[in-house]
Structure 1
Amino acid sequence: MLERLPHPLLPNHITKEFNELAKNAKGRYIVIVSGIIHDITPFAKDHPGGLPLIKASHGKDCTTAFNGAVYQHSNAARNLLATMRIGVLGGSEDLFWKQQRIENKSVPIDNDADGNRIVRSGSQATTFNTVIGGTAGAA
């Protein structure tokens, strides 16, 4: 697994700190994509997937969804997301989901809001600057 170096300008958080940040983010939407914590509140109402998708993503690692499991986001979407960075998460997506399972036993994290099973790759390493496919379409 790749070890991430701390980002020189963004604060580094452990999973517990991220969970507290998300829990206390009243009226804000905080997500993780590729180990970076983002406050996506400014774009939430304009997101093509709708506000319910953003609300369902709050406090979660959305790397797999962002990179094609739900929708393969364009380079424009990646650039827009980069403007919303607020921190770095120490650890990996797989560890984060395991921690969510332990802490939120009453929250169904195996299914999306419509009851469809969420499929995750437990061995997938998330890396920076990796774009699979991509389109020139909507961000």
Structure 2
Amino acid sequence: MSDAASAHDATDATTAFALIGGEAGVRALVDRFYDLMDLEPAYARLRALHPTTLDESRDKLHWFLCGWLGGPALYEQRFGHPRLRARHLPYPIGIAERDQWLACMRQAMRELGVDAALAQRLDAAFAGTADWMRNRGG
């Protein structure tokens, strides 16, 4: 999977970005994701990979997801190409971390009431990308 992979299907007239509620919807999803990661013991390994303060992580994921979901390329405007895998290589990401990331995002989508069909579509895209980010076996 490449950095260009996204949840936006070019054949769809409506982007995932629009369906989730634009920038405000993406921000709500990202904020709930990081709130859960910070609070839930089930996501402790994932949380340990992040800095003490999550503000920058929240902003970067928000900016990235806006473009990845078919909206404005806010991340690229600030930092250039995302180079996702390269930027994550310093962090030990194995199966447990991948699974915690996905579970946390699924819980955030569920708690925000993301439409079931959209959540399924996003989950498939997130799963492919999350697996591609693994750099450890376990």
Do they superpose with TM above 0.5?
no
TM-score by length of 2: 0.31
TM-score by length of 1: 0.31
Task: Kindly indicate which of the two structures has a greater share of residues assigned to strand.
Answer: 1
